[in-house]
Amino acid sequence: MKILENKKSKTIILNISERLDYLSSPSLEKRLNELIESGERNLLVNFSNLEYISSAGLKVILKTSRELKANQGKLLICCLNGMVKKVFEVSGFNAILSIYENEKEALMDI
């Protein structure tokens, strides 16, 4: 897994690529926790280059969403495609998370 970060106004954008599974999810969880602990409240995760997500990756996303919500923040997800989109649909995560077609659309919801 690779994580590229940039900031647009009040939002940290994380572009996640390759695989988010039981091996890589602890790294993402650590980074998300660091961002939240440093005071960030709006995170946008772009999955346009993610090839695979496991239940371990979904757990990190859900945990982060709940933590941000408890701190008056938001976790936004964008650019789901292929297998990753199907996993979100089958798991029902598309109904409980804020998911957008692209970054521009997601940033308008902040």
- Which domains does the chain possess? 2-107 (3.30.750.24)
CB-count burial class (<10 Å; 0-12, 13-18, 19+) for 49: middle
Confidence of residue 17 (pLDDT cuts 50, 70, 90): very high
- Looking from the CA of 46 toward its CB, the CA atoms found within 13 Å total 19
pLDDT in tens, 82-97: 999 999 999 999 999 9
Q: Tell me the CA end-to-end span of the chain in Å, nearest whole number.
A: 27
pLDDT in tens, 42-73: 999 999 999 999 999 999 999 999 999 999 99
Q: Is the pTM of this model over 0.85?
A: yes
Q: What is the mean pLDDT of the chain?
A: 97
